[in-house]
Amino acid sequence: MAQIAVHVDYPAWVNEIVDWNKTYATDEERMRLAIAISSENVERETGGPFGAAIFEGASGKLVAVGMNSVVRLNNCTLHGEMVAFMMANQRLGSFTLGAAGMPAHELFTSCEPCAMCLGATLWSGVRRVVYGAGREDASRLNFEEGPVFPASYKYLEDRGITIVRDVLRPEARAVLERYRIKSGKIYNG
């Protein structure tokens, strides 16, 4: 068979929305970027209402962003968090963001991670996860989170990963609502 390959890139608008050189000092600033990405993904109709960003925790330096790209790239694995992990790995030339000598990294995501993304969080090497909207907000749109249980979070916390919930939740939820009004596609519904 002819060789098949997969190419993952950003939609063309990414550099209009993302200031790569800014220092993102606070949790709110970092979450605001993740939400801006989720919102732009809806307005430009490039994917589901989910955005993510990875920062160096102490410096606030932006490493990578991600946006849901399942439909745009015909790929069931490309949730916002997964795109952010892949792009951060690519940029740093490392399969872990938690290597010895690296600064601690953090994932900000506009909505609570699904089972796949929570698993990937463990493999990514990030030390802190901050999310905006919760799984109940997503399920109101019939987006499913999959097999995530309180024990799943405990598993991550036991391995030193901090979980922070509900940061700018109303703003994050508003993007989900906007997607619903635009009658966006519910893949994997």
* Chain residues that interact with a second copy, rule: CB under 8 A: 1, 3-10, 15, 20, 64, 70-71, 73-77, 82, 85-87, 89-91, 93-96, 114-120, 122-125, 144, 146-147, 149, 151-152, 155-156, 187-188
Q: How far is CA 27 from the centre of its chain?
A: 15
- Quote the least distance from Cβ 115 to a second copy, whole Å: 3
In 89-127, the DSSP E strands lie at 105-111
Nearer to a second copy, 3 or 183 (CB): 3
- Quote the least distance from Cβ 9 to a second copy, whole Å: 4
Nearer to a second copy, 29 or 155 (CB): 155
Q: How far is CA 73 from CA 17, 67, 70, in A?
A: 20, 11, 6
- Quote the least distance from Cβ 188 to a second copy, whole Å: 5
DSSP state of 62: E
Alpha-carbon distance of 121 to 159, in angstroms, equals 11
Nearer to a second copy, 106 or 171 (CB): 106
**Ramachandran category for residue 186: left, alpha or beta (phi over 0 → left; psi -120 to 50 → alpha):** beta
Active-site residue, 28 included: no
Amino acid letter, residue 60: G
Would you please indicate which residues are annotated as catalytic (active-site) residues?
81
